[in-house]
Each structure stands twice: as structure tokens, then as C-alpha cells.
Amino acid sequence: MARTYRQTLESLYARVRFGERPGLEGPRRLDERLGFPSRAMPGLIIGGTNGKGSTAAFVEALLRQTGHRTGLFTSPHLFSFRERIRIGGLDVSETEVVDAAAIVERACDALGYDAPFFEVVWAMAATIFRERQVDVAIWEVGLGGRLDATNAGEPCGAAITSIGLDHTKVLGETVEAIAREKAGICRPDRPLIVGARGPGGDALRSLLESADVPRASSVRTLGKDFFPVVPEVGRELPLSGAHQRDNAAVALELARVFEPRVGEVGLDWVRWPGRFERFGDGLILDCAHNPDGAVCLAETVRALVSGPLDLIFGAMSDKDFMGVLGPLLPLARSVHWVVPDHPRAASPLASIALHGLALTSGGTVAEALSQRRPDGTTLVFGSCFLVGEARAGLEGREYPELGLHTVAR
């Protein structure tokens, strides 16, 4: 008897106990066993500390607008597991998840390989993309780049959106070390688009000018640089913030690697929840969860929000809490720290004064939202899981999906 969707998710989420094992040997063996589904269609791969999900969404929208059947793989999901694998802008069905999981798990059994969660889901996406005969697959890197499962395929082009300090226990403690991991998605004789600025961008460009990483056939980059420059985007975008203009510019260049006819009009098709997302008047949700992301969020708030700002914050235990909170504190009149409904959630710090603000804590995000003040703007941020929980509550949906938690990325 075939498993249900719930049973499939339970089986997938249980694979987190196998732990993260960065490396390409396992994904490549699994890909070979499945008949190389990752090579059944051209692919575009996108890495970066921040912005890679938005850029992937822009690329998908651009290529879909020109008439291509697109496959999009991203992580994590905000509410439903099905968000991770999309065809033509729509989440795959529960039946497709069940069937693809069964195919990949049988391949794992045949190899005697207890593949971790992310590798299995990547292989499921490739299997579904092949079955649905997509014209192009867009792969968002899960963690790092060089040893990420998404890098086991052979993409026709790559982009690196940004480089900053995040996941340092896995990727390294310096921007130079992290740049090296991100640069691992480069391929010899294939184009690379670079959106990274600042110290991280400098570190990446030094690598690209050396013999330490594969030589791309061409490198295009944002801003005034040694490499040819990516043109600015000349239209208003559905996603707010100057950083999204950078992401859109990178996306245009990467999409044109596959389809030269792509024009800016396709940018209007993008929808990417949880990125400066407005819910009616006076409520914004944003997935900024590291210091660099918080800096971009603060810049967008300064540009687009007037009047009092109240923060609802929640984070995972491995994050730099104060580094994420810090850029927003000078703009806020209050901070309320909630604990996301997630096994890795961080408990609030003891009540302290932050820029003269009283830090309060306790309750759920839904309770905090029910008490928000009507005379200002409330910003929910700090974790994708917190934003997913908030969105589910606002839309009247159970959270988490089917009551099942995952600690996976």
C-alpha cells in the first residue's frame, strides 16, 4: 500500500537524524542510480549568503514569462514542504511528493546509503523535473556551494548573490573562507554572474582572478569592477528594497545564459513570500535572519516605512541574535521576542535595555500580533520559520503543516 503524504513527510523529516554530511560523493551516486535526472534538463545554480532565494524566484519568473516550463528548487519552506519543488510557478502536488520520495528512497536502499534529508529532497526535485519534462531547472544552493547536493549536477550557468558571515561553523569563520565555498559552484567554461559587494565580493573576485577556482567562460558583476558590469534594472519591482534591484539584475543576466530573449517585463511575474511582504496596513513580514540581511532590511524600512515601528523577533539558537536585531533597533519603539514553534528556536535573552527600548518576551507570534498597536507598523522578522508561522496564522492555517516539525534546512 502506498504511503500517505503525511507518512512520507514523517519519513523524510526522520532523515535529519543522519546529520549534515557535506560532500558530493553521495549525491552523485544517488543521481547515477536514478539515471542522472539532474542532467535531463539544463540547469542554473544560484548561491549566496543572502538573496539567492529571491534571485532564483526572479530567474524562474523571467524564464516562465518567455514560455518555458520551469522547475524551481528552493529551501527552506515557509509552510508546506511542497513549496520546495515548483513547476511553472506552482507547488508540486502531494501525490508527486509521495511518488518521488518512494523512487529516491528505493534508490538509497539499493545503494545501502542512508542519505540525509537535503540530498533526498534534491534528488526528488530532479526526478520530478525529469518526469514533468521541464525545459530548465533553477537550483537554489542549500548551504555553501562547493559541497552542496545542488552542485552535483552540471549547470549551464551560475550566480553568486552575496557573501557574508552565516553558518560559520560549517563554512568557515571569515568571508574569505566562505567565498571559497560559494565559488565552488563555478564551472570551467561556463558563465558566472556575481552580485556580491563589499568585503565578501572583494574576496570572491580575488579568487576568480587567481588559479584557485575553475575558470568561468565569462564573469559579469554588479558595480564598477575589473569584470564586465551587469546593467541596472530600470523598472519598479514586486519585491521591495535596493538589494532586490541587485538580485533582479543578477537574475536577468543568469536567465539570459539560457534564454537570450529574456526582458525585464518578466520581473513583474515574481512572487516570493516573506521578503518585505506586506499584510494589509501596518504589518510586514521578512525572513532576514543574519546580520547582513538585517542591514538590508533596515535600509528598506528607512526608505519605505514612516511612523512608529514595533518589532516582533524570533530566531534559531545558532544565530547571531544581536547582530540581527542591532540594525533595526535604532528605528524601533518596541521589541517583543517570541519563541518560534520550532525545535531549534532560541529562548529570549533576559530582559535588557536595547537603545533605551524595553525588551519584552513571551507568548506565541499569533498572540504578539493580536496585541500590536494600531498607530504604527509592526515588523515580524528574524527567522524563516517565524515568518512561516506568522503567515499560517494570518491565513488561518494549521502550523506546522500536518503538525510535523523538521529541523532541516
Quote the domain boundaries for residue 339: 277-403
Residue 261 counted as domain residue: yes
CATH number at residue 17: 3.40.1190.10
- Split at pLDDT 50, 70, 90, the class of 22 is confident
Q: Which of 226, 243, 269 is the last residue of a domain?
A: 269
Q: How many domains does the chain have?
A: 2
Contacts of 111 (CB under 8 A, 6+ apart): 29, 30, 33
Burial class (CB in 10 A: 0-12, 13-18, 19+), 302: exposed
Q: Are residues 99 and 75 in the same domain?
A: yes
Residue 386 counted as domain residue: yes
What is the amino acid identity at position 36?
Answer: F
**Cell digits of residue 140:** 537554489
Q: Are residues 230 and 350 in the same domain?
A: no
Please give the backbone phi and psi of residue 176, each rounded to the nearest 5 degrees, phi first.
-65, -45
Q: pTM for this one?
A: 0.95
CATH number at residue 307: 3.90.190.20
Q: Are residues 213 and 286 in the same domain?
A: no
List, for residues 271-330, the tens digit of each pLDDT value.
999 999 999 889 999 999 999 899 999 999 999 999 999 999 998 887 788 889 999 999
Report how far residue 241's alpha carbon sits from residue 4's, in angstroms, rounded to the nearest whole number.
41
Among 34-43, 177-186, 211-220, the range of highest mean pLDDT: 34-43
The answer to whether 123 and 34 have CB atoms below 8 angstroms apart is: yes
Q: Are residues 69 and 130 in the same domain?
A: yes
For helices 198-209 and 175-183, angle between their N-to-C axes, nearest 10 degrees: 50
Cα–Cα distances in Å, from 37 out to 33, 57, 134, 404?
10, 22, 11, 29
Q: Which of 269, 297, 320 is the last residue of a domain?
A: 269
Q: Which of 248, 269, 290 is the last residue of a domain?
A: 269
Res. 168: pLDDT tops 60: no
Res. 365: pLDDT tops 70: yes
Phi-psi region of 167 (alpha: psi -120 to 50; beta: other; left: phi over 0): left
Cα dihedral across residues 321, 322, 326, 330: positive or negative: positive
Residue 408 counted as domain residue: no
**Cell digits of residue 86:** 515548483
Q: Are residues 216 and 285 in the same domain?
A: no
